[in-house]
Amino acid sequence: MTHAIRIHGTGGPEVLTWEAVEVGEPGPGEVRIRQTAIGLNYIDTYHRSGLYKLAVLPAVIGMEGAGRVEAVGPGVSEFKVGDRVAYGTALGAYAEARVIAADRLVKLPDSISDATAASIMLQGMTVRYLLRETYPCTADTVMLFHAAAGGVGLIACQWAKAIGATMIGTVGSDEKAALAKAAGCTHVINYRTEDYVARVREITGGAMCDVVYDGVGKDTFPSSLDCLKPKGLWVSFGNASGPVPAFDMALLSAKGSLFATRPTLMTYTARREDLVANAADLFSMIEKGAIKVEPSRSYALRDAAQAHRDLEARLTTGSIVLIP
């Protein structure tokens, strides 16, 4: 019997329930995979809480996983039974097995383990589009990255270091500061003990940042805007502390003709060719040693509720996986 974590209504971690489910045969353009590792991400808490609306309930949440193909539907030629695969943009991950559209999968290189894949597909591809596409960073870029010791943040530290960019990261403890620094963050600010806007001004000699990457949301708005140089870009890509409140667009002009965007990985990888290119670039960075990612912690899939509690209490660092 196959099991999954399902929600029948939105709310706190207590709505996550371990249940027996039926997984059917794959239809046209689909494959069935037996999962070996599943990524835990903040977007999972948004789906669970109702911040991001789900089309149908009950539902299986989770966006990211890795495993092996165990059945192939009609019309699928790119994958075969036994292939090691991973994905990062397909709802329904919290399950021992699942059916998924083949065009959302990528093949895994032999050099990348299933646990690593489940740690990087959503978070690593997010860093890739943020630093390569949303704002094309170079060695001349000065960036501020909030939550630098989180799963996305630690990958960003390494990516920024690899391209020679200056990364200023914010964290919530001295322990997390040490993690971010070890991962390659150029300057680390503990926002609990320091005014990060003042420190950014000090670090940059008053020049401020080209881009601010903000996955925190409510707690860092509008102060994130004060860290940008004129015509700088504010990238609001997450809501770890809650959604950014509605604001008057004139605020952007008042603070220096700023740009603002609210991107998602799903948009940047909607086309098959973009998904494959993103994953290939990420895998290349890992294979050449520029980025090293191993899960900092794992939970049994049936214990997903506790994993959510720990994540939302900011008791975790780095990437976390759920093991079926």
Q: Which of 230, 212, 204 is nearest to 156 (CA)?
A: 212
Listed in sequence order, the DSSP H helices in 92-133 are 114-129
Per-residue pLDDT reduced to its tens digit, 256-285: 999 999 999 999 999 999 999 999 999 999
pLDDT band at 315 (very low <50, low <70, confident <90, very high): confident
- Residue 314 pLDDT > 90: no
The CA R_g of the chain, rounded to the nearest whole Å, is 20
Domains and their CATH numbers in the chain: 2-120+293-323 (3.90.180.10), 139-262 (3.40.50.720)
- Residue 318 pLDDT > 80: no
Q: Which of 250, 263, 202, 259 is nearest to 228 (CA)?
A: 259
Per-residue pLDDT reduced to its tens digit, 55-76: 999 999 999 999 999 999 999 9
Q: Are 90 and 275 in contact (CB under 8 A)?
A: no
pLDDT band at 151 (very low <50, low <70, confident <90, very high): confident
Compute the average pLDDT of residues 241-264.
Answer: 95
